[in-house]
């Protein structure tokens, strides 16, 4: 009777494989709020095919697990975005059993995988087509067994137990939709743009359901390359300059002085064409959703990701798309994450957007109430459930 008000439930350890960095985060739901149980960060190198150095990563993970304050060893993993293939397809409406077979065939044909060497899954978007035809939009998600095992094997060797392999975008949707899970929330339509180091993803959410999702090959890495070329810097120095500029923007101020005006202007001039291209891609996604599917359009864009604080990106998006742009720290319940993570790391955790995927992975494991999970789901599965 008192479960909703006084219960406490601990989620799994969310393991987010980003571009060169692994973020581990474990959350607890307590008194209808979220608290950080454990947090850690470790860096890894990859080969030309994107596979991490297993032995070195295993040792770093062992150290992170030992010092991060985690409870238990169950974890949910998100592979790097370039290791997961995602495509929106239309299929005739059919039962789940038939859809699963169709998904395996479609993934093999579209992504060039051998059917015995991949893991494929799907997400029903629930979006109704304007044409009224007896077909539905489905998100097709697949990854090779080699990509999956090259990332989960070091985790297993480090002592973690893999509950599931999820997608980063599904984890992101779970985090930003934590308070939009009722049927009545289907009328809340939002666009979400996550800008990461190696690329971006744009989603349209109806409540907590993913109605549309597309990857965009523009991210922080491309911004840093543009700055490096424009200012004749090494890419690492350009990335550090951008990080200082984002921190000086006032949203995640860590006390450092703002950059001088001329340097800031030069960085903006270097990144402005890419920001314009990214805004155009988002605008096209919103337009496609509006003319293809029934229902109201998004009323705002939620901007997040480790590179989502690029100065003036929000202005560029709002001007191109004609709707309000808000940052992830405006979402109720997320504003306390950063200080709690910093306490665990004993250093600056960076922007909030860099942790929203790891948070969503941990939320998948919270068993209380609406976020209940089947403890028997022990086999890796790509993209199993939009916000389950």
295: exposed, middle or buried (Cβ count in 10 Å: 0-12, 13-18, 19+): middle
Provide the whole-model pTM.
Answer: 0.87
- Does the structure show a pLDDT above 90 at 295? no
334: exposed, middle or buried (Cβ count in 10 Å: 0-12, 13-18, 19+): buried
Edge-first strand listing for the sheet containing 324-327: 209-216, 200-206, 189-195, 300-304, 324-327
Query: 99 in a domain, yes or no?
Result: no
Edge-first strand listing for the sheet containing 8-17: 33-43, 21-30, 8-17, 74-78, 161-166
196 and 242 housed in the same domain: yes
Phi, psi dihedral angles at 218 (to 5 degrees): -135, 125
167 and 272 housed in the same domain: no
pLDDT one-digit tens code per residue, 201-227:
999 998 888 999 999 999 999 999 999
Query: 30 in a domain, yes or no?
Result: yes
Q: Lowest mean pLDDT: which of 48-62, 144-158, 228-242?
A: 48-62
Q: Lowest mean pLDDT: which of 219-223, 287-291, 366-370?
A: 366-370
280 and 267 housed in the same domain: yes
Tokens of 291: 């003319």
Provide the number of structural domains found in the chain: 2
Give the pLDDT band (50/70/90) at residue 365.
confident
Of residues 32, 28, 23, 26, the one with CA closest to residue 10: 28
256 and 161 housed in the same domain: no
Most confident of 75-84, 239-248, 270-279: 270-279
Query: 253 in a domain, yes or no?
Result: yes
Q: Final residue of a domain: which of 289, 304, 331? A: 331
299 and 350 housed in the same domain: no
Query: 128 in a domain, yes or no?
Result: no
35 and 160 housed in the same domain: yes
160 and 278 housed in the same domain: no
Query: 97 in a domain, yes or no?
Result: no
Give the DSSP per-residue string, 166-235: E-HHHHHHHHHTTT--SGGGGG-EEEEEEE-SS-EEEEEEETTEEEEEEEES--HHHHHHHHHHHHT--H
What's 248's domain CATH number? 3.30.420.40
Tokens of 232: 């004749």
Angle between helix 145-157 and helix 54-67 axes, rounded to 10 deg? 50
Whether 169 contacts 203, CB under 8 Å: yes
Cα–Cα distance for residue pair 162/9, rounded to 1 Å:
19
Q: Final residue of a domain: which of 331, 349, 369? A: 331
Query: 95 in a domain, yes or no?
Result: no
Give the chain's mean pLDDT: 85
Query: 293 in a domain, yes or no?
Result: yes
Write down the pLDDT at residue 132. Answer: 67
Write down the pLDDT at residue 386. Answer: 37
- Does the structure show a pLDDT above 50 at 387? no
Cα–Cα distance for residue pair 206/204, rounded to 1 Å:
7
Of residues 165, 191, 167, 198, the one with CA closest to residue 86: 167
65 and 190 housed in the same domain: no
74-78 and 161-166 beta bridge pairing? parallel
More confident residue, 149 or 261: 149
Residue numbers of the domain that contains 365: 1-83+142-179+332-382
Cα–Cα distance for residue pair 267/265, rounded to 1 Å:
5
296 and 345 housed in the same domain: no
211 and 165 housed in the same domain: no
227 and 372 housed in the same domain: no
Of residues 326, 311, 381, 336, the one with CA closest to residue 148: 381
- Does the structure show a pLDDT above 90 at 181? no
- Does the structure show a pLDDT above 80 at 287? yes
Write down the pLDDT at residue 275. Answer: 98
Write down the pLDDT at residue 357. Answer: 95
Query: 368 in a domain, yes or no?
Result: yes
Tokens of 136: 């539905």
Whether 81 contacts 198, CB under 8 Å: yes
155 and 31 housed in the same domain: yes
């Amino acid at each position: 009777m008192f479960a909703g008000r006084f219960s406490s439930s601990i989620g799994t350890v969310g393991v987010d494989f980003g571009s060169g960095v692994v973020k581990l985060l474990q959350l607890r739901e307590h008194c209808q709020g979220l608290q950080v149980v454990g947090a850690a960060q470790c860096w890894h190198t990859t080969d030309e095919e994107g596979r991490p150095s297993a032995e070195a990563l295993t040792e770093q993970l062992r150290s992170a697990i030992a010092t991060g304050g985690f409870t238990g060893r169950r974890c949910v993993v998100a592979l790097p975005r370039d290791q997961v293939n995602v495509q929106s397809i239309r299929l005739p409406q059919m039962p789940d059993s038939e859809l699963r077979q169709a998904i395996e065939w479609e993934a093999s044909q579209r992504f060039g995988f051998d059917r015995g060497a991949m893991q494929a899954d799907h997400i029903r978007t629930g979006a109704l087509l304007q044409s009224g035809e007896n077909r539905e939009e489905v998100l097709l998600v697949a990854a090779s067994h080699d990509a999956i095992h090259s990332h989960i094997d070091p985790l297993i060797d480090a002592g973690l137990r893999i509950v599931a392999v999820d997608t980063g975008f599904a984890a992101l949707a779970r985090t930003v939709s934590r308070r939009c899970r009722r049927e009545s929330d289907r009328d809340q339509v939002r666009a979400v743009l996550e800008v990461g180091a190696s690329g971006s993803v744009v989603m349209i959410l109806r409540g907590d359901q993913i109605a549309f999702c597309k990857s965009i090959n523009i991210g922080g890495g491309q911004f840093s390359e543009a700055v490096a070329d424009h200012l004749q810097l090494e890419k690492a120095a350009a990335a550090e300059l951008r990080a200082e500029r984002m921190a000086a923007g006032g949203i995640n101020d860590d006390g450092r002085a703002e950059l001088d005006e001329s340097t800031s202007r030069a960085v903006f001039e270097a990144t402005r064409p890419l920001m314009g291209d990214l805004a155009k891609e988002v605008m096209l996604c919103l337009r496609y959703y509006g003319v293809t599917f029934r229902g109201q359009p998004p009323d705002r864009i939620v901007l997040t990701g480790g590179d989502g604080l690029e100065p003036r990106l929000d202005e560029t998006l709002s001007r191109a798309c004609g709707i309000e742009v808000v940052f992830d720290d405006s979402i109720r319940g997320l504003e306390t994450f950063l200080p709690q993570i910093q306490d665990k790391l004993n250093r600056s955790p960076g922007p909030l957007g860099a942790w929203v995927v790891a948070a969503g992975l941990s939320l998948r494991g919270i068993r209380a109430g609406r976020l209940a999970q089947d403890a028997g789901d022990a086999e890796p599965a790509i993209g199993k459930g939009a916000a389950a």
